């Protein structure tokens, strides 16, 4: 589900950020991601986060992560800062939580391990709206919404969420993030969309992908549940 753009925005990025790297999930701003946390190191990370600022940075592991998953396998530099919106700690220390995507970040340098989980210095990466392409932005948004409506499942809960989108005042940047997150696109495509700060370019990239998918095989397009189910860490 979409999150209002004027929701929580952190003011200070100087302190180390908790890194939550996963091999199969790209988090975007403006959405809520359900997560089930069971690994010891990530339970420790969430323990600290809920007692502090509730912030973690989700990043994507690079291919080959299986060889060193228990260590520090390489991650891609672009990620998403998330804030724990709600959480429930189970009796055995595991967590069920909802992570709210706040903003894009770039990992500038990872810090030496001093805790069970990884930390890094990150820099926010805000949406860019070039003035020279402003005249085309409305048409981009209308076409993106139309393609999204064409692809979305016919289930009542999905259509209800879509009606909320259509009736909202989401910016083009927020809309691209909600659509990119919702559709079951390849991880490489999702990461490319996450790493693009230029909103118009991001919308064009996403729209090109959706045009191909709807033209070739709309009926068999893979899609994730809307809203999504829990993701396991």
pLDDT in tens, 187-199: 999 999 999 999 9
**CA–CA distances in Å: residue 138 to residues 73, 81, 141:** 41, 28, 5
Which ranges in the chain are annotated with CATH 2.30.130.40? 17-126
17-126 CATH, one of 3.30.420.130, 3.30.200.20, 1.10.8.100, 2.30.130.40: 2.30.130.40
Residue 231 structure tokens: 């993701």
Q: Return d(Cα 163, Cα 169) in angstroms, integer.
A: 12
For residue 219, pLDDT beyond 50: no
**In DSSP terms, which residues pair with 37 in a beta bridge?**
95
| Per-residue pLDDT at 218 exceeds 50 | no
Q: Residue 20 in contact with residue 42, Cβ under 8 Å?
A: yes
Residue 156, number of CB atoms within 10 A of its CB: 8
Structure tokens at 46: 């969430």
pLDDT given at position 6: 44
What was the pLDDT predicted at 5?
A: 46
Q: Would you state the pLDDT for residue 156? A: 58
Q: What is the pTM of this model?
A: 0.86
Residue 153: pLDDT over 90: no
């Amino acid at each position: 589900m979409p999150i209002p753009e004027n929701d929580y925005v952190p003011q200070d990025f100087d302190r180390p950020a908790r890194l939550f790297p996963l091999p199969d999930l790209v988090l975007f701003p403006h959405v809520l991601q359900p997560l089930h946390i069971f690994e010891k190191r990530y339970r420790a990370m969430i323990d600290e986060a809920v007692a502090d600022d509730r912030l973690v940075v989700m990043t994507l592991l690079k291919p080959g992560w299986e060889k060193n998953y228990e260590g520090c396998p390489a991650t891609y530099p672009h990620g998403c800062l998330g804030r724990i919106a709600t959480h429930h700690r189970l009796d055995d220390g595991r967590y069920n939580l909802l992570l709210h995507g706040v903003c894009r970040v770039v990992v500038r340098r990872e810090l030496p391990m001093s805790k069970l989980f990884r930390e890094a210095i990150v820099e926010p990466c805000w949406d860019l709206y070039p003035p020279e392409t402003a005249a085309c932005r409305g048409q981009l948004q209308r076409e993106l919404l139309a393609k999204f409506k064409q692809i979305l499942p016919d289930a009542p809960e999905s259509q209800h969420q879509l009606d909320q989108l259509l009736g909202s005042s989401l910016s083009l940047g927020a809309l691209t993030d909600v659509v990119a997150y919702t559709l079951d696109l390849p991880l490489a495509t999702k990461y490319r969309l996450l790493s693009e700060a230029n909103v118009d370019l991001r919308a064009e990239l996403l729209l090109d992908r959706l045009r191909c998918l709807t033209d070739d095989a709309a009926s068999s397009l893979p899609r994730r549940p809307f809203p999504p189910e829990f993701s396991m860490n």
